[in-house]
Each structure stands twice: as structure tokens, then as C-alpha cells.
Amino acid sequence: MMRNKQWAITISLVSALFFATTFVLNRQISLNGGSWMWSASLRYLWMIPFLLIIVLLKKQLRPLFIEIKAQPKQWFLWSFVGFGVFYSLLTFSASYAPSWLVASTFQITIIAGMLMAPFINKTSYSSTFSLPTFIFSILMLIGVLITQLNQAKAVSLNELLLGTVPVLIAAFAYPLGNRKMMQITKGRLNSVQRTLGMTLCSLPLWIGLIMVEISQNHLPSYSQLSQTLIIGLFSGVVATTMFFWATDLVRKNEESLAAVEAVQSSEVVFAVLGEVFILKAQFPDTISMIGITLIIVGVVLHSLKK
């Protein structure tokens, strides 16, 4: 189990690197006047052909459709929550707040999974919950808050509300949808199959958002199409499947699952670097570096804990 946990944490860390592209590029799209509805919808539309090719080549499409057909209501519900609610709110917030604020607020997901665990896994939670795991996760969350402490002074109340409240909801929706789908599939599908299935089952929402935009004669620009393609490939295909793979490896152990989810806070580090090198923001000051250090320490403690 220890080897599985360390491997899962490593995979989760790499997925965080790819997932950080979401925050930086969505902010760049919004600064260029791109619609959040197109940004959200296009990411998942771009994901489908990549995932479909992988699943078809491995001849794993039929088992996926069998699983969806067996419990269609559950698939559509938790795909809507885990992908639809999660990502539409993230892209909405990117229109009103800088990427560092969206990324840092989303890290409440570090403890969101643990807070929901008693209600999701009633039978296994009490025997696997670990106080050290919770403390390490809180340490990382403190690091996230410290990292953004100075920058937050320059944010208006409107930006603060629109850039945080929707993201707080998204932070609970993502682990909730993922954990419920793990319960439903019980390891019968791999991470790529599950990502494709949830993407297909969330399509009604994305098509609905596209219809709203088309009805208002709002079409995406070439730059928005190309940037959402990058997000779809890096964050949607690579990051999501890697994260699902990591959580699948430790799905039977609540402590390890919480650690894997907590490691996603390293997105803040990658998002800050993205702001500096892509959006030409200022390099983090000393206080922010202290916060980044706490995040790194938290990742190390999670990986070392047996």
C-alpha cells in the first residue's frame, strides 16, 4: 500500500502541473475578451476525439457503454457535478479574477474531500481517517493562503466575490463527482474510460452553453479555439486521466486518497510560475515563497507518511 500511495502522489503531482494550464490560459482568454461559456464547452469538446481514439485503440469502448447503460442516471448526475458544475464555475470566475486567485481558492478541495468523506464512504471512513493526513493537508492550505496574502490586497470586493464563491462550489463538486464515480464503477473501468464516459455524459450542459452563445451571435476567436485545445489536451486529457489514475490506485484507503487530493495544491506553485513567465506577472515576494515552501513540505510529508 505504501508503494501505491507514493506512486499515486507522484502521478497526482505531475497531473497538477498539467492542470495548472487551466488557470493561466483561461485567464488569458478572458483578458482577450473570450466568453467563459465557450472556454468551458470547447475544452470538453476537444477532449472527446483524443480520449475516443485511445479507448478505441485499446478496444475498451464497449465495456464503458455497458457501465453507462447499467446506471445512466448516476453517470449523468455525477458527470454533471464532477465535470459540469466544477469547470463551468472555474471558467466563469476566470472572467472576473486573476488566475492566482482562482487557483488558490480552488485549493479548498484539499479538505473538501475529507469533509465529504463521512457522507460518501460511511462504512470505511472511520477506520481509515488519519489525523496526521488532515494536519498535513491543513499545512498545505495555509501555504496556499500565505502565497496569495500580499496579492489579495490589490483585489476589489467584486473580484473577490466573483473570483472565489463560484470556485468554492467547484472545489467541492470536483472531488464529489470523482469519488461518486469511483463508487459506481468499482475499478471496472480505467482512468481514460472513466474520463471519456464522464465527458460524454456532461455533453448536454456543454451543448446548452454553446446554444446560448450562438443565439447571441457570439463565436469563439481563433486564439480561443487554439488555447482551449491546449487546455483540453493538457488539463482535460492528461491531467484528468492522471488524477483519476492516482485516485483509483488508492480508492480503498481514505487516508491515501486524501493525500493524493491534497497534492493537487501544488497547482498554485505552477500557476504562479505560469503567471510570471506567460502573463508577465511579478515574481513572488518573500512571503509568497514561504507559502510555496509550506506547500512543498506538505507534499513531502504526505509522500513519506506510512
- The predicted structure's pLDDT at residue 125: 47
How many Å apart are CA 173 and CA 58, to the nearest integer? 30
**What are the backbone dihedrals phi and psi of residue 294, each rounded to the nearest 5 degrees, phi first?**
-65, -40
Residue 286 contacts residue 138 (beta carbons within 8 Å): no
Name the residue with higher pLDDT: 133 or 241. 241
Quote the Cα angle for 113-30-109, to 5°.
Answer: 5
Q: For residue 53, what are the contacts with CB-CB under 8 A and spacing of at least 6?
A: none
DSSP string, 209-253: HHHHHHHTT----HHHHHHHHHHIIIIIIIIHHHHHHHHHHTTT-
How many Å apart are CA 178 and CA 207, to the nearest integer? 22
Does the pLDDT at position 163 exceed 60?
yes
Q: Dig out the grid coordinates for 273 from the structure.
A: 510560475
Composition of the chain by helix, strand, coil, percent to 5: 85, 0, 15
pLDDT averaged over the chain?
A: 84
Q: Dig out the grid coordinates for 100 from the structure.
A: 492566482
Number of domains comprising the chain? 1
Q: Using one digit for the tens of pLDDT, what is the confidence trace for 117-155?
A: 776 765 554 455 567 777 877 887 787 777 666 666 666
CA nearest to 71, candidates 190, 175, 180, 196: 180
What domain range is 164 assigned to? 2-304
CB-neighbour burial class of residue 72 (10 A; exposed 0-12, middle 13-18, buried 19+)? exposed
CB-neighbour burial class of residue 78 (10 A; exposed 0-12, middle 13-18, buried 19+)? buried
pTM of the model: 0.82
Name the residue with higher pLDDT: 82 or 114. 82
Side chain identity, residue 156: S
